[in-house]
Structure formats: C-alpha cells, structure tokens
Structure 1
C-alpha cells in the first residue's frame, strides 16, 4: 500500500515537472523576441516622440543645472509639438548646432555601453547638441539693451526672471539683428556663461539657428529626483 502511494507521489512530481519544463523552454525561446520588441519600441519613441538629453554645461543655469566636464540635469524633449507648429519665444529647445558653433563644454566619456544606450534613448551628452531659450523668431528684430539693460524684441523690453548672473549692462550690447524667416535667435539663461547667438553674429546667419535644426522642446527635468520639474515657456 505504501509502495503504491509512494509511486503515486513520485509519479505526480514527475508529471508536474514535465508540465513546467515546456513552459520554461517556451519562455526562454520567446525572451529574445520580447527584448527585440522592447528595443524597437524604445527606438521608435526616441525617433518620433520623446528623447532624453544630458545638460553638459552651465549655460542654462539656474533653469537647468550642468557643469563643464560632468553630467548635470537630465531632460526630456518633446519631438512632436514642432511637427505641427514652430518654436515660440520663451521655449527651451534642443538643437543641432551650426558648423560655426563650437561645444561649450566637453561631454563626459559615455563609453561603449553609453553609446549603445544612447541609440535606444538613454540620456547622452553630445558636442553637436545645444540647449538654449528662444528669444526671437523669424521677422523679429532683437537687440540689447534698453536703459535698464533688458533685451528688446521689436523695440519692446523682455521680462526675463529666469536670467542668472547676467553681465554688467555695459557688456550686454548686441544688435539690432533682424531674424531671417525660418530661423531663431537663441540665448542661454546664464547670460554671462553662454556662447549663444550673440557669440556668432559674425557668421553667415548673424548668429541665428535654423528651425529645421531644432530637435524638440524641453518640457521636464527627470533626473536627479530632487530636480524633477516641468519646464514651461518663460521658465
């Protein structure tokens, strides 16, 4: 009686193992497919919807934190909005710098894994990408300064509460520059540490950048957690 019972138990265990093993093998076969689908979806999101970026320099302090030679804030950039409209004054944009623009800070060495991660949307710092605030758009005339040292657009002074450590008034002068259609005049919020449109007025586009070179609009700081915050136009 006990032998039969023991056989039943052993037989039952073997039966359960035989049912589980095909399931485990099936999952292992499907795992590469699931990983591949996840990577493709990540690539599609990065290409068409949202992309993450590092802030490698101090040119947008204190709106965005960064430092030379290190990685600062991580931001997400909306790549959809500008498919249906163009950047507006006050927007914080990430763009591919013209050939005449040189990096403001060397990005940290990401290594092989970092470069692979960047292909699938992990935040990367690039010498070719810049983040600045749109100050004037095509057809507008931008200059500095009025009697209070403020930037003017079409003769009207801007209220810019986000400016950090600005230059003395006597060192702020530029323009006037009329922004060509399809181009943007951009400046960093840390005016005394930003090599922006002002630093490139002698190039063929008088310091402006093409709307077509804009990657997207920065809309949120996602890292570090203590810096989590939405970025609206105008700071």
Structure 2
C-alpha cells in the first residue's frame, strides 16, 4: 500500500498543473477577446465621432503647424462656441476645408486692437495661443458686428492668415455661416500633440466653453485593448517557458 500511495502522488501534482494551465489559458483567451472588443470599439467609435484632416498652411501656428494631422469632432454648427478651432468650407473663401479659430459669434461686436488685444463686445481678450512676439496691431481692423447665425474667424498666426479680416468687404463682413462648419478640432494626432488647450480668455465674456469630445477615452480604449491582446497572447509562450524550466530542474 505504501508503494501504491507513492505512485499516485505524481499524478495529483500533474492534475493540479494541468488545471492551473487550463485556467490560465481561459483567462488569456478572455483577455484577448476583451482586448479585441476594446480595440475595435475604440477605432469604430473614433471613426463615427471624428474626421481626420491635414492642415496645409501655417495660419494656425503655433497651435497647429503646416502638415499637422488633426481630428475634428463632427458637430452641428449651432454647437460652436467662441474660442473653438473649427473646420468649415465656404465657396467665397476656398474650394477646400479651412481651419480657423472662432473669436466672435452672431450678435457680437469684434475689433482689433485695444492696448494690443482683440476686443469682443468691448472686452479685451487674453489669447495665450498666439505666437510669442507677434504684434496684434499688425492685423488691426475696425469694429465689426457679426450677423446672427454666423461666425467671425481668425488664424492664430494672424500676420499671414487669410481669415475673416481678408473678407471684410463681403456682404457678411467676413463672417461664415454656422452651417458651413463640419467639425470642431479636438486634437493634433500627428505629431502626437494631443488635445488642444482650452481657450480660457473668452470666459471674460461670460460664455460657456465647448467641452472636449471623447478623444481621450477613445485613446485609452485602443491602448488598453492592444495591451490586453498582447498580454493574453503572451501567456502561452511564457507558460511553456516557465513549465519547461520547472521540468528541467
């Protein structure tokens, strides 16, 4: 009987290792499956919410440089607020999408400059996104009243930007219809500069700022999903190496 007991002990250990291996394989399979769901859902959500654009000029420097790749959230023009960087298309401006910053909306009065600053509704606006050392007076323009349902837009690099100031003689005083907007720029993805900073200077007007879209959550989903897939897929080779090392000892 003692000999019989001695022979059964190895089988019990083998069974425990097999059970542990099966549990590990199950967990790794679940990790891979969950990772794939998160990864694909993140890309799918991003494709629905955002549109990519390549900015061809430096008129939005330093916020967005020429050649940068941006993601613009698909929004209705009525959702646009002062300070937003938007993508729009107006046949009077160009035959391609244009990227500029909204500095005034319908009913606002806007002018430049008072003590070197843009003024909206008589209030001076702090604009930390402008290039350092650029004199605001270089784009001085008289007071403009923005028609209802329209937007007044400027480039951050204003000295060389073909923006609303270049269209002041138009019937709409250089403004663009809200309906012309196809997206609000949320992030620069190439190079990977991430989310645009919030333009807090317009809070002086008592207006609400736009909330950023789900870009950050989408990125977390994609990265987390990829990590789960890699960890789950790596379980098998790691388990074999560890198991092989144990048998060698």
TM-score normalised to the size of structure 2?
Answer: 0.58
Cα distance in 2, alignment partners of residues 153 and 216 from structure 1:
23
Where in structure 2 are the equivalents of 1:204-215 lying within 5 Å? 204-215=171-182
Deviations 1:161-184 (A, max 9, x none): 111167545433212111111100
| Aligned match of 1:64 | 64
Deviations 1:122-178 (A, max 9, x none): xxxxx51100111000100000111x2111000101000111167545433212111
1:99 aligns with 2:91: yes
1:191 aligns with 2:184: no
**Structure 2 stretches lacking a partner, 5+ long:** 1-39, 201-249
| Aligned match of 1:138 | 106
Q: Is the 8 A contact 2:53 2:69 kept in 1?
A: yes
Q: Is the 8 A contact 2:138 2:159 kept in 1?
A: no
Measured at CA, do residues 169 and 60 of structure 1 come closer, stay the same or move farther in structure 2, by a change above 3 Å?
closer
Q: Displacement, 1:58?
A: 0.5
Q: Is the 8 A contact 2:112 2:137 kept in 1?
A: no
1:201 aligns with 2:175: no
| Aligned match of 1:118 | none
Q: Between Structure 1 and Structure 2, whose CA radius of gyration is higher?
A: 2
Q: Displacement, 1:86?
A: 2.1
1:75 aligns with 2:42: no
What is the SS of the residue equivalent to 2:179? Answer: helix
**Structure 1 stretches lacking a partner, 5+ long:** 1-37, 67-71, 103-126
Structure with the higher fraction of residues in helix conformation: 2
1:88 maps to which of 81, 91, 101: 81
Count of residue pairs brought into register by the alignment: 159
